[in-house]
Amino acid sequence: MAWLSLIVAGILEVGWAVGLKYTEGFTRLKPTLLVAVCTVFSFVFLANSARTIPIGTAYAIFTGIGAVGVALFGMIVLGESRDWPRLVAIATIIAGAVALKLVSADA
């Protein structure tokens, strides 16, 4: 259950990070509220997962999900670069997250 909580936390991190683009410096109410809700709940789920998963592993995977998710959003939705060095970097982040999961004490 802790790993599911960590995945949800990461997905919510993607939500608030992407949402920052749409707040226009926190001048738009609805996107700002969505960012606030996603931020609070992402940390609630992260804290819940860290009760079982070592914090170093949990935080690294949390930020990895966020980094990969936001990068993919940028490429798919915003038309950002899809060049091979960027894809290799994303694959490296994913490989690191998988490796952390495999060596985690509660794996």
Helix, coil or strand: residue 22: helix
Q: Kindly give the confidence (pLDDT) of every residue in the chain, 107 residues in length, as a single tens digit, with 9 standing for 90 and above.
A: 999 999 999 999 999 999 999 999 999 999 999 999 999 999 999 999 999 999 999 999 999 999 999 999 999 999 999 999 999 999 999 999 889 888 876 65
The structural domain count of the chain equals 1
Q: DSSP code of 81?
A: -
pTM exceeding 0.85: yes
- Which amino acid, residue 94? I
Q: Which domain holds residue 86?
A: 2-103
